Amino acid sequence: MRLFLAIDIPQTIKTSLSQQLNDLQKKHAVFNWVQEQNYHMTLQFFGETQKIKGIIDKIKIALFEQEQFYLYATHLDLFMDKRIIIYVDFNREKSLEQLIKNVRSTFEEEFYETKKFTPHITVSRSSIPSKQQYFHLQKKIRMRNIELEFQVTELSLFESIQNGKKSHYRKIKTFPLLDRI
């Protein structure tokens, strides 16, 4: 199973984000846009593994005394790797930073993560023919503000199921956070 721990975005927020991206999706229909039901914020990627029970037990340890918190989106941004990734960028929150630190230290022996964590929701993946087009797109994307705010009350362990070029995410387990807000 291909597993990851994530913040599942509330449906009202998914709908709002989809509406805010609607005109961009129409202008760039050739891009591979993430389906609304698949919006999430990945916190830890486990990859292909059968160690579900061990992962669940360790997540419970990492989340011990983790309180609920709020996330605030700022704007769209993008980066280029093997392809272009367009994502919603978020303010850095102390609660989220501590959560990431706890999760990564709990899993560092089995699933060591070298990338710096950037809170984001991926909304599109695509290839682009030239660097000029990338820079032109970058200029347009970075001017796009995204207005989202939501309370994180739980985390979810997901299985990623590939169906051709599309992914489907199945929720395996939910982990409620402490309600002290």
Q: Which of the residues are catalytic?
A: 40, 120
Q: Which tokens go with 1?
A: 């199973």
Stated length of the chain: 181
Question: CB-based burial of residue 65 (10 Å sphere; 0-12 exposed, 13-18 middle, 19+ buried)?
Answer: exposed
Backbone angles phi, psi at 106, to 5 degrees: -65, -35
Taking the alpha carbons at both ends of the chain, their separation in whole angstroms is: 35
Give Cα 114 distance to the centre of its chain: 17
